[in-house]
Structure 1
Amino acid sequence: MLIDPPAWPAHGRLWSHLVSDTSFEELHEFAQRAGIPRRGFEGDHYDVPQERYDDVVTAGAVPIDGRELLRRLQHSGLRIPKRKHERVVLSTPDAPWLPPGGRADVIASRQDDAPPRTVVVRAVLRDARGIHVVARADGRGLDLPMRHVAVGESPSDALRALGDELGLGSDRAPLIGYVRNVVREPDAGYPWPVPTACFALFALPAGGLTGGRWLPTAQQEVELGERHWWPLVAPGADGLVGHGH
């Protein structure tokens, strides 16, 4: 276990980063033993407040400077890059729906634009009726309204076209977050670019949308809980209510 000095300001205090260069399992187990709450997990590290630094070192974390910590984390393959104002909500190494060794990162975002290598945009529409859903093309359950980003098309153009298909304007469509596939060795059936492909979710205004199927809140987790983007739209999700450091 590795920890850098408390030098990162947020919420009126300084923070350290606690990482493992071996596995996330090791990181979570150590954090639990050291009394670091799971809410401090930021996708590839735990944020540790300055007043807990000495305790965590005493528990067995090795002090190391920030640059070396980042180098070790990158070399381990456990580094999960994100942009400013983004938070890793969930990361699934060896995701069973991806080729062997693939990883799926679910990232809540307050950026204005979709990330690079976005291949699909989805529309999140909510009102008193619930969330607007459609049948998946393969017949395996429900999905959000979506559109593939065509070759030479920008995600914003694809989103605008999706809004037009739904009969909605999309001038005001904030990004909620995205799922990023990380696949370095694709198999023959993998359809997306490598090493990364992103699937972005945007909040579109539901006003004016009268048709389609609306899924009430009480049914959403049952029907949608297995979808890779579910952590971004679940009630109370970071992607919908904002997030901090």
Structure 2
Amino acid sequence: MGVVNVTPDSFSDGGHWFDTAAAVKRGLSLVADGADLVDVGGESTRPGASRVDEDEELRRVIPVVRGLAAEGVPVSVDTMRAAVARQAVEAGAVLINDVSGGLADPAMIPAVADCGVPFVLMHWRGFSHDMNSRAVYGDDVVTDVVAELQDRIDAALTAGIAAERLVVDPGLGFAKQARHDLALVAGLADLHALGRPVLIGGSRKRFLGHVLAGPDGTPRPARARDAATAALSAIAAHEGAWAVRVHDVRATADAVRVARALTRPQ
């Protein structure tokens, strides 16, 4: 899953693809590099980010979704708003990726049930402006995250979304400290126990910056974390992840091919 951020303020590439034509071109480039799906989002969810209003999100996202779909690209829409999800599907999106797992907008899960497309439920505890304060877990973050994801699965099933349309995402970097993110990657087997495909979205995240910190403890900048992202992607693929969501597709596609070769010898 390649990332196209149609935003001025995303943490690693905000502003690069803010223009519709540039965003569509970027999406096509990601496909050429090996992306199976292009995830288009119009709202930054970096820690501390402020929300944009619905009209602005629609203005950013829908033309890009329509443009990529017209080129035959499988597109997912990264949104927490039901209205944006509905219009994106009408414009050609084939998957809804909600980082709030349907919690931010009560209309989202009913909208997904109506749209009939796959739905990514991410582990989420609150909006970006205060999510760092919510990174409090019991003895085992994996146990807590699995339990909270199960609640979201149950809510989706109750609303009439078929189980086979659900994908789960542990929400790396969302209301989590670096040690929590690493524990969740190491605990992928427990996430698989939910019985749904698992999406891993660790690309360029803060925890990788901390892993790569220099001798003085300064984290590696976001755009210098692509090699670490490829390593993470290879691990996730080897552990059976359904997909990885990344900014630099080519390096990750190569890493995933190596992981696949280990599990499916030629």
TM-score normalised over the length of structure 2:
0.27
Which structure is higher in helix share?
Answer: 2
Answer with 1 or 2: which has the greater Rg: 1
Higher relative contact order (CA 8 A, sep 6+): 1
TM-score normalised over the length of structure 1:
0.28
